[in-house]
Structure 1
Amino acid sequence: MASRVLSCATAPMVSRVLSDSSRMTCYPSLQLLLSSTSTVTVTKLRLRNGSIKCKALGESSQTFYQGIYGPWTVDSSDVREVILYRSGLVTAAASFVVAASSAFLPENSLLSDIIKQNLDLFYTIGAGGLGLSLFLIHIYVTEIKRTLQALWALGVVGSLATYTSLAQPAGDNLIQYVIDNPLAVWFIGPLFASLTGLVFKEGLCYGKLEAGVLTFIIPTFLLGHLTGLMDDGVKLTLLGSWMALFVIFAGRKFTQPIKDDIGDKSVFMFNSLPEDEKKALLEKLEQNKFDQNLE
């Protein structure tokens, strides 16, 4: 359970509900995480699939999910962040697929020529989409999130340096230079390491097969090219698999509930508290647990 909490976005079961004819209080205490609202006036209360659905007088219904440190709800800023996070993944996937498709098109076709002339543009757009997603990704362990972001930044700097110092003087675009000079993978590799970390997190948290397979395909493809131990046929097979799975992965993100990509919001709220408030909250939760056991 502990490892699951550290790495995954989950929404645990609903807390005990105490209500009278006109007011509702979420136990152990809604006030713990929603300090501006001590009680909620309601006309309707529904429990479904581990959540509390509350409808305030004159307002639309709102669902509360019970987290480790108390109830939480999805607000408009959460929805916006999740949509941007998923849009960044779609942008990265679409850019990669378009750029990589040039490897499968006839050598002298018009479409192939157009794509090859704009490979640096597709690479830049894709890297930007990935960066947006890594900026907005919800991971409970801040150090892991910062590591992925640092790898992305290192990969961007390495890509820029490779392009300006090596590819451009040679009259190549960045991708073609890396294809012709496998050692350049060392410079762009951190960018793809950050992508590997992202899909690993998604596969671990949500049990997505395509994300799990991508976790192995991405480094295998790059290492195979770097070492020269992989022939072109195998590399094309892996590249095609990468393209297909990346599209499935990005597309399926929009089939998930918004709350999945938020995770247990109470954990993030708890981590943002000063140490003395964390201690007070933990003591309050322990007291509530003790009171429940007495009952």
Structure 2
Amino acid sequence: MPLGVLSTTLFTAPVLHSPPKSSATLHGFPHSRVSSKSRVSVRSGSIKCQALGESSRSPIYQGIYGPWSVDSSDVREVILYRSGLVTAAASLVVAGTVAFLPDNSLLSEVIKQNLDLFYAIGAGGLGLSLFLIHIYVTEIKRTLQALWALGVVGSLATYTNLAHPAGESLIQYVIDYPIAVWFVGPLFAALTGLVFKEGLCYGKLEAGVLTFIIPSVLLGHLTGLMDDGVKLALLGSWMALFVVFAGRKFTQPIKDDIGDKSVFMFNALPEGEKKALIEKLGQEQKFSQNN
């Protein structure tokens, strides 16, 4: 299988929902996955999805398993996904700015007093995006979510048991004691996975560079092999590229961030219907090739 097809099959942009386990179905698709505003059917081996009242306005796109269209819930979830990234980027920029400000400045003091708040807001924004992220392979999504959850638990444990008793913010404690990177690191590993996925799917240069910068900063701080000047330079690059990355998400068409919706409709089918549909699609392909 060509690399481009493989990467498209594995990844796509926001809003992943694993096939729901529900006994209520609509033409073979669980009600909880298909919007109540949509009519879904399987005809001649293809999946058809038509939004009621929107057939003349919503374009129909051809997917691997049949045509699909964008509905209002798709738009809402994509916007929320992107908003989570903007929230995470803004929080990083505000918190990271303190590293470049004079220690005795008023702005620096205000930011230092609220570092944990900015960290929590940024982690929440990232969590929202990881909840809505659209990836065909459910195991990959669950792994990113598990890393995020592990990082949140580690952050809370570090703050409660180490940073707070020492009278420091969580971020300041991690700066003073690099070993604490082990506890907060999984959260940033989840972020690295997210930007890697975006870079792989859409060829975004800033996402690709972030894939290397984020772990480099953390590992450099953890091991002590990176001096402060290099860490500051990489942190500044991280901040700038993350803003560009989050902002550029809003320049993408909604349909691009959804990916191939027919794949998720296919994944919602029972195994027997999946096999039957694949066989019909194979027969149709052979027929078209012979004619």
User: What TM-score results when the alignment is normalised by the length of structure 2?
Assistant: 0.85
1:228-239 matches, cutoff 5 A:
228-239=224-235
Alignment-derived partner of residue 75 in structure 1: 71
1:60-99 matches, cutoff 5 A:
60-99=56-95
Alignment-derived partner of residue 285 in structure 1: 281
The 8 Å contact of residues 29 and 70 in structure 1, kept in 2 or not, is answered as no
Please state if 1:265 is matched with 2:279.
no
What is the rounded CA distance, in whole Å, between the counterparts of 2:154 and 2:49 in structure 1?
Answer: 46
The 8 Å contact of residues 49 and 67 in structure 2, kept in 1 or not, is answered as no
CA offsets 1:174-209 (integer angstroms, 9 cap, x no match): 000000000000000000000000000000110011
The answer for unaligned runs of 5 or more in structure 2 is: 14-41
CA offsets 1:266-294 (integer angstroms, 9 cap, x no match): 11111121100101111221222233234
User: Displacement, 1:4?
Assistant: 2.1
Which one-letter code corresponds to 2:273 in the other structure? E
User: SS where residue 106 of structure 1 aligns?
Assistant: coil
The 8 Å contact of residues 86 and 253 in structure 1, kept in 2 or not, is answered as yes
User: What TM-score results when the alignment is normalised by the length of structure 1?
Assistant: 0.84
The equivalent position to 2:149 in structure 1, one of 153, 158, 161, is 153
Structure possessing the higher relative contact order (Cα contacts under 8 Å, 6 or more residues apart): 2
Please state if 1:212 is matched with 2:208.
yes
Which one-letter code corresponds to 1:180 in the other structure? D
Alignment-derived partner of residue 33 in structure 1: 47
Q: Which runs of 4+ in 1 moved over 6 A?
A: none
Please state if 1:176 is matched with 2:172.
yes
Please state if 1:223 is matched with 2:237.
no
The answer for unaligned runs of 5 or more in structure 1 is: 11-27, 42-54
Bigger Cα Rg: 1
User: SS where residue 34 of structure 1 aligns?
Assistant: strand
Alignment-derived partner of residue 182 in structure 2: 186
The equivalent position to 1:109 in structure 2, one of 105, 112, 115, is 105
What is the rounded CA distance, in whole Å, between the counterparts of 2:44 and 2:134 in structure 1?
Answer: 23
User: Displacement, 1:62?
Assistant: 1.9
The 8 Å contact of residues 7 and 201 in structure 1, kept in 2 or not, is answered as no
What is the rounded CA distance, in whole Å, between the counterparts of 2:125 and 2:173 in structure 1?
Answer: 22
Which one-letter code corresponds to 1:209 in the other structure? L
What is the rounded CA distance, in whole Å, between the counterparts of 1:224 and 1:36 in structure 2?
Answer: 51
User: Displacement, 1:229?
Assistant: 0.8
| Number of residue pairs aligned between Structure 1 and Structure 2 | 260
C-alpha RMSD over aligned residues: 2.0
What is the rounded CA distance, in whole Å, between the counterparts of 2:208 and 2:141 in structure 1?
Answer: 19
CA offsets 1:141-189 (integer angstroms, 9 cap, x no match): 1111100000000000000000000000000000000000000000000
User: SS where residue 61 of structure 1 aligns?
Assistant: coil
User: Displacement, 1:132?
Assistant: 0.3
CA offsets 1:230-275 (integer angstroms, 9 cap, x no match): 1110110000000000000000000001111111111111112110
Alignment-derived partner of residue 144 in structure 1: 140
What is the rounded CA distance, in whole Å, between the counterparts of 1:5 and 1:239 in structure 2?
Answer: 31
